Structure 1
Amino acid sequence: MTAPVLDVREVTKVYGAGDTAVHALRGVSLRVELSDYVAIMGASGSGKSALMNILGCLDVPSDGRYLLDGTDVGALDERRLSILRNRKIGFIFQSFNLIPRMSALANVELPLAYGGVRPSRRRRRAEAALRQVGLGERMGHEPNELSGGQQQRVAVARALVTAPALVLADEPTGNLDTRSTEDVLDILDGLSASGRTIVLITHEDEVAARAKRVIRLVDGRVIDDRRQAAVADRVAGGAR
């Protein structure tokens, strides 16, 4: 039987100690299977940022276990954790995180360069990823020559170029206008339909409605984990 892409087991996260300790996560457990599309929601202080950092291997739990694509993250040293993060996770951030003086193509190539992929191969893969998000004609443009929506599509292409087990999107539409938001969410819908596993961190109901499943956090605990059986019909109906 295939292991889940994400397997979080009774994870806690505590910042500080003693009277000043902040309990960001309090025994969170969840599983995300291959090809699932999950939205994690919560207000400020709910623990969703702490959970995102752990899911993205940017931080480690204070207690509990986290397995990414079958690998126990807690058993890895920093070097192996960095390799796992680069190979298994494609990140999409609210602020795009593009390198200003590099072209869209060079920005998308970066994860492959860090992974030691030879130049000719990484260029072909980066070009294919940019075409996938509709930016085949913008490969040579730098970020300041692109709209916010186009910059986020470059970020999506960068997240896809390593063929990761997980696409982790942290408030990916937070800096976008309505039209660009729809464009990016349509791309995520298409990725989900093609079998990509996506975890989306958001505080917006309209964005979460595009996912197949919604998990809600309150005070560091999962209070609701619900599959949205009719999401495809709702999204299709809204597009008419």
Structure 2
Amino acid sequence: MTVPVLRVRDLVKEYGEGDAKVRALRGVSLDVHKGDYVAIMGASGSGKSTLMNILGCLDIPTSGSYQIDGADVGRLNEHQLALLRNRRVGFVFQSFNLIPRMSALANVELPLVYGGVRQAERRARALAALEQVGLAERVHHEPNQLSGGQQQRVAVARALVTAPALLLADEPTGNLDTASTDDVLRILDGLSAAGRTIVLITHEDDVAAHAKRVVRLVDGQIVEDRRQAPPDGPPPRLAEAAR
């Protein structure tokens, strides 16, 4: 069997000390294989955001281990960790996290700038990523000139531009209206159909229904891990564009 894109073993995360100690994660173990599309669900305080931050190398566990694309994260130094975040993990946040006075194109180029990619190549890759999410006509617009849904699509393009092994999306539709939510979910469906590995955090059943697999957390523990069939496949043209 191939090595999982994500392998988590006995993750524990504690905050505080003594009587004030809080166990946000209580021994979470999880494998995510290439091409999987996983929704991690749970109520507020269930540990899902803590887990996402650890998976994205934005926080460290109290104990346990995890690997991303075969790399043991706990054994990496700061430089190696920064390279892994930049090259193997793509992030999509609820709040978009775009730079206000930069164009959509410049925002998408940023991970490649940090990665030392030459200007001509990063421009071509950023343009291709924006076309992939349907924003070829908005490349020179700044975030305040775009709708919320368009801003989130820019964020998806930025996450994809490094061709990461793993796409992490933290409540990617949380700030969007119904129409924009549908647009973003169609893009994620298309990326999944094209073989992308996606892990998303959501508290919405309608969003989780698009995933191939649902993992539910309660009080820092996995209480459900089940496969499901998405209700509808993405339009063929979108699946093709995501390749």
Question: In structure 2, what is the equivalent of residue 183 of structure 1?
Answer: 183
Question: In structure 1, what is the equivalent of residue 239 of structure 2?
Answer: none
CA contact (8 A) 2:189 2:233 kept: no
Matched residues in 1 for 2:77 and 2:22: separation? Answer: 25
Change (3 A) 1:236 1:192: closer
Matched residues in 2 for 1:128 and 1:223: separation? Answer: 40
1:142-153 aligned at under 5 Å gives the runs 142-153=142-153
SS of equivalent residue, structure 1 residue 66: strand
Matched residues in 2 for 1:164 and 1:236: separation? Answer: 23
Q: Which runs of 5+ in 2 are unaligned?
A: 235-243
- Superposed CA deviations along residues 150-205 of structure 1, whole A, max 9, x for unmatched, are 00000000000000000000000000000000000000000000000000100000
What is the TM-score normalised by the length of structure 2? 0.95
CA contact (8 A) 2:12 2:24 kept: yes
1:1-240 aligned at under 5 Å gives the runs 1-228=1-228, 230-231=229-230, 234-236=231-233
Q: CA deviation at 1:77?
A: 1.5
Q: CA deviation at 1:82?
A: 1.0
Q: Which amino acid aligns with 1:116?
A: G
CA contact (8 A) 2:168 2:199 kept: yes
Question: Percent identity among equivalent residues?
Answer: 75
SS of equivalent residue, structure 1 residue 4: coil
Matched residues in 2 for 1:134 and 1:43: separation? Answer: 33
Matched residues in 2 for 1:83 and 1:60: separation? Answer: 16
Matched residues in 2 for 1:133 and 1:94: separation? Answer: 17
Q: Which amino acid aligns with 1:101?
A: R
Matched residues in 1 for 2:168 and 2:232: separation? Answer: 21
Q: Which runs of 5+ in 1 are unaligned?
A: none
SS of equivalent residue, structure 2 residue 29: strand
Q: Which amino acid aligns with 1:60?
A: I
Q: Which amino acid aligns with 1:129?
A: A
Matched residues in 2 for 1:236 and 1:143: separation? Answer: 30
Matched residues in 1 for 2:178 and 2:105: separation? Answer: 26
SS of equivalent residue, structure 1 residue 235: coil
Question: In structure 1, what is the equivalent of residue 237 of structure 2?
Answer: none
Q: CA deviation at 1:2?
A: 2.0
SS of equivalent residue, structure 2 residue 232: helix
CA contact (8 A) 2:6 2:66 kept: yes
Q: Which amino acid aligns with 2:84?
A: L
Q: Which amino acid aligns with 1:187?
A: I
Q: CA deviation at 1:17?
A: 1.4
Matched residues in 1 for 2:47 and 2:202: separation? Answer: 12
Q: Which amino acid aligns with 1:86?
A: N
Q: CA deviation at 1:19?
A: 1.1
Q: CA deviation at 1:236?
A: 4.6
SS of equivalent residue, structure 2 residue 7: strand
Q: Which amino acid aligns with 1:14?
A: E
CA contact (8 A) 2:39 2:199 kept: yes
What is the TM-score normalised by the length of structure 1? 0.96
